[in-house]
Structure 1
Amino acid sequence: MKRIFKKKCIHEALECAENDTTLKRSIGPFGLTIMGVGGIIGAGIFIVTGVASAASGPALILSFIIAAIACTFTALCYAEFASMIPIAGSVYTYTYITMGEIWAWIMGWIMILQYLIASSAVAIGWSSYAVALVTSMGIALPAVISGPYGVGGSLINLPAALIVLILTAVLVRGAQESARVNAVIVFIKVAVILLFITVGIQFINPSNYHPFTPYGLTGVFQGAAMVFFAYLGFDAVASAAEETKNPGRTIPIGIIGSLIISSILYIAVAAVMTGMVPFNLLNNASPVSFALQHVGVQWAFTVITIGAIAGLTTVVLVNMFSKARIIFAMSRDGLLPKVFSNVKEGCQAPVTSILLVGALATIVAAFFSMDSIFELVNVGALSAFIFLALSVLILRYQKPEIKRAFKCPLVPVIPVLSIIFSISLIAQLKVNIIEIFAVWLVLGVVIYFAYGKYRGMFEAKEKLIDSEVEGYEPPLETPSSK
């Protein structure tokens, strides 16, 4: 039992980025920032804003600000760890180094659920917008192929399945190609969002802001717990750590830069939208398009719908990208079958992991309806953020001498605030969501003791804790590029 709490040596973790199963460093600061924006902006604006407005009212603006503050604390923690240990795995890897194998497995298991459901749910949202667009063009898709199984006579959500398959093909071509596709689509959706703000601001009715907090502070924090989903994506930047050039500089820029850009756009959209339409009318599947139709701007419907499709496309892409890297890292450590850590020559992409992710996401997106899905994703992400903040505190205490390319300021204050905000937001989620999450955790622990425990990194060769490695010296610098 003692070995399940053994920790991964930082020195060996960094060596993982220099062996035959490493990924190719091909993403620079601009590409990484755009990747973060691509992962963040999408479902938050085009789907979640409507649902959250029902809880917070016009104070949705405050809900976005609170969620942004909580994410900022977490982003600073991510920037420290990802720049110091620039390898695949994100919080899974950081937990392995600071807490041990069993906790790393639990964290990886949580993140697999988070990214799987996030990518599948957003693909379902993508399908709704795509069906609306082709319908507006006079093309009626048969109900049997345009929705979740059993809903409205549908057997399969074919558009959702197709977008996942297309993005799987993009990811197989490698991180650099994925980043290029993401950048093009991000520019389209940001242009559409700016168009909405420019047009919508002309139709703001100040009376729609009254009462500003119809449900008090409770509604504001409930809205924050919902729109927290909107910010998920900046954490995906950390998953690309092993594929970034000069990670000590690039990763902090990518994480913090994408969060700042996205926060500004979110707050602006929330302010304009709740000014255009009474908040009690916004709770629908396409709040942005509805707001424009409500004020009579029919010409913008097609443009906004195209922007929504673009926005949701990049969110699916980034979530699938991140999930494949988590599976790759767990496989490289022996906690999942080794086949998932195979790297394709040339593009240096974990193709087997990507194909697994694509297959699972396609099945879920094609046949399932994702009610309350955003909250289930949120509890997984918030749990990861708690583990991340704890990892920063632990490593600062155990290894203060390690060189950190970026240091989270005001430690322990920032990590502690990150933990407090995360726990507070989890407390706002529905009880049944917490129960489903607990069942997933129990299943993960059972699988670990049935499989992972006997095939982890300590089975083939006992690894020593950093302090036990004879002659070990903390790394003076992190790998930059190849």
Structure 2
Amino acid sequence: MKDSQTLKKTLSATHLWAIGVGLVISGDYFGWNYGWGVAGTVGLLLATVIISILYITFIFSFTELSTAIPSAGGPFSYSLRAFGVKGGLIAGYATLVEFLFAAPAISMALGSYIHFLYPSCPAMAISIASFLVFTGINLLGLKEAAWFSLVMTVLAIVELLIFIVIAAPHFKMQTFLQNPLPFGLGGVFSALPFAIWLFVCLEGIAMVAEEVKDGNKAIARGYISALITLIILAFAVMICVGGIAPWQELDNLDYPLPESLGIILGRDSKITRLFAGVGLFGLIASFHGIIISYSRQIFALSRSGYLPKALSWVSRKRKTPYVALFLGTALGISALMFFDTGKLVILSTIGAVVVYIISMLSLFKLRKSEPDMNRPFRAPFYPYFPAIALTLAAITLVSMVYGYPELSGIFLIGLVICFAVLLISKKMGNNSIGIEEAENHHQHEL
């Protein structure tokens, strides 16, 4: 492989934990509370239990793929190997949708948090500026970016623990159970995308797998430790906030945590304002980590021939995919102009669920087609864990298509366009070497 398309191995298990938690931890700060508007407190809690089971079974299964095929492409690489070019295209497209729409959602929350602190600062301008600043940080190199992520993640966790300590004494069960299931069990299914938001993008660890020093052990430890951390924090934050004020007061805000403290201590309290300020740590950690992930996905798709080759160029000194970073920034800023936070969250989670489905199908396929593949970590309780993850992901996708048909249609139209571009490219004889090799490998398997 050309040196201009090679990534540097610099990461440890601790870095992976930080990247994994950092990718997701902003979900504790905002986004999940939109689920109260469609399900109420208990409805969202039930949805989160279902999604926690999905992620536990998925991550333990997904880690087998990540350690067996450590590639910057992540799910794209697994599906490409399992199902050939078409499978790779579905996984690559879905992963890009997941991460590229998650980034502007978080940048919007960053803008809203700063606007909460300083009303004279327009949220949109701050959101755009955040893209530019953190793209610049990522250009410094992955090791530097990973250490920055580690610091931000630790600070975000500490802040959430402080919030829990302050909020827990003010929790009232009567408040939490006020109108808990306003839309019945149907609301639970409508809330699934917002429950997923508490964990979405965790699989992004796989996209830095090529850059891990002690690949197999570090990847497994990073995934599992990150998942445990996130489950504990998700339930603690959701329950604490739900017992402070009626959910109708908090279900449509991008800053539910500082607003909760404002209810307890007063909006002008120094602690409230301080929390809103340092609350940016969690948003920054996720935003920064997602930029790392989508740039690696664009890099991997380009290197394999699905996107123009220029997108897989890396800088000579820092070994960062700078062209992919610039493209992701441009797409993210564009998304800010067309979608609000709730729609960005749903589009991101639709992409995520499709990734989970194709990844579990890839696991089953590779177990059958390549039984002798080196698998440093094997999914426990196979085939039950991946089957549970696949079933829950499929149910979640059906519920999202039913509940959000317009956004699901946007996702589908994008996928059809990608297939059309691939077909036209092949007919015109513009196939890249990467795609030709993938097709030959797939045909050889068949």
Hey, what does 2:235 align to over in structure 1?
267
Which one of the candidate residues 444, 449, 463 is aligned to 2:423? 449
Q: Distance in 1 between matches of 2:177 and 2:338?
A: 42
Query: What SS does the aligned partner of 1:259 have?
Result: helix
| 1:62-89 CA-partner distances (Å, limit 9, x unpaired) | 3322211111122122211111111110
Which one of the candidate residues 322, 325, 335 is aligned to 1:351? 322
| 1:247-287 CA-partner distances (Å, limit 9, x unpaired) | 11111111121111011001001111111112232213121
Q: Distance in 1 between matches of 2:365 and 2:435?
A: 26
Q: Flag the 1:366–1:304 CA change in 2: closer, same or farther, 3 A.
A: farther
Q: Flag the 1:458–1:263 CA change in 2: closer, same or farther, 3 A.
A: closer
Larger Rg: 1
Hey, what does 1:340 align to over in structure 2?
311
Which one of the candidate residues 431, 434, 437 is aligned to 2:411? 437
1:245-256 alignment, distance < 5 Å: 245-256=213-224
Which one of the candidate residues 13, 19, 25 is aligned to 1:41? 25
Which one of the candidate residues 242, 267, 288 is aligned to 2:257? 288
Q: Distance in 1 between matches of 2:395 and 2:118?
A: 42
- Deviation (angstroms), 1:54: 2.5
Which one of the candidate residues 88, 94, 114 is aligned to 1:110? 94
Which one of the candidate residues 138, 161, 170 is aligned to 2:128? 161
| 1:206-262 CA-partner distances (Å, limit 9, x unpaired) | 211335544443333332332202211211101111111111111111112111101
| 1:314-353 CA-partner distances (Å, limit 9, x unpaired) | 2221222111111111111122221122222232211221
Say whether the 8 Å CA contact 1:49–1:287 is kept in structure 2. Answer: no
Between 444-453 and 202-211, report the one with greater CA deviation: 444-453
Hey, what does 1:76 align to over in structure 2?
60
1:57 corresponds to 2:24: no
Q: Flag the 1:292–1:458 CA change in 2: closer, same or farther, 3 A.
A: closer
Say whether the 8 Å CA contact 1:52–1:226 is kept in structure 2. Answer: yes
Which one of the candidate residues 151, 155, 168 is aligned to 1:201? 168
Q: What's the TM-score once normalised by structure 1's chain length?
A: 0.85
Hey, what does 2:294 align to over in structure 1?
323
Between 368-377 and 236-245, report the one with greater CA deviation: 368-377
Which one of the candidate residues 366, 381, 389 is aligned to 1:410? 381
Hey, what does 1:154 align to over in structure 2?
none
Hey, what does 1:192 align to over in structure 2?
159
Hey, what does 1:311 align to over in structure 2?
282
Query: What SS does the aligned partner of 1:433 have?
Result: helix
Q: Distance in 2 between matches of 1:108 and 1:435?
A: 18
Q: Distance in 2 between matches of 1:168 and 1:210?
A: 43
Hey, what does 2:205 align to over in structure 1?
237
Identity over aligned pairs, percent: 24
Q: Flag the 1:458–1:235 CA change in 2: closer, same or farther, 3 A.
A: closer
- The alignment yields a C-alpha RMSD, in angstroms, of 2.2
Query: What SS does the aligned partner of 2:72 have?
Result: coil
Q: Distance in 2 between matches of 1:424 and 1:291?
A: 33
Q: Report the residue type matching 1:106 in the other structure.
A: I
Which one of the candidate residues 64, 71, 96 is aligned to 1:87? 71
Q: Aligned residue pairs: how many?
A: 435
Q: What's the TM-score once normalised by structure 2's chain length?
A: 0.91
Q: Distance in 2 between matches of 1:321 and 1:173?
A: 12
- Deviation (angstroms), 1:21: 2.2
| 1:4-63 CA-partner distances (Å, limit 9, x unpaired) | xxxxxxxxxxxx6x9662211111000110111111111x22222321122332323333
The structure 1 segments of at least 4 consecutive aligned residues displaced by more than 6 Å after TM superposition are 459-463
| 1:392-448 CA-partner distances (Å, limit 9, x unpaired) | 000001111222110011222222211111111122221222212111111111121
Q: Where does structure 2 lack aligned partners over 5 or more consecutive residues? A: none
Q: Where does structure 1 lack aligned partners over 5 or more consecutive residues? A: 1-15, 148-156, 470-482
Instruction: Answer 1 or 2: which has greater helix percent.
Output: 2
Q: Flag the 1:95–1:371 CA change in 2: closer, same or farther, 3 A.
A: same
Hey, what does 1:30 align to over in structure 2?
14
Hey, what does 2:105 align to over in structure 1?
121
Q: Distance in 1 between matches of 2:37 and 2:341?
A: 19
Q: Report the residue type matching 1:383 in the other structure.
A: V
Say whether the 8 Å CA contact 1:189–1:308 is kept in structure 2. Answer: yes
Q: Report the residue type matching 1:117 in the other structure.
A: F
1:393 corresponds to 2:376: no
Q: Report the residue type matching 1:203 in the other structure.
A: H
1:170 corresponds to 2:137: yes
Say whether the 8 Å CA contact 1:75–1:256 is kept in structure 2. Answer: yes
- Deviation (angstroms), 1:98: 0.4
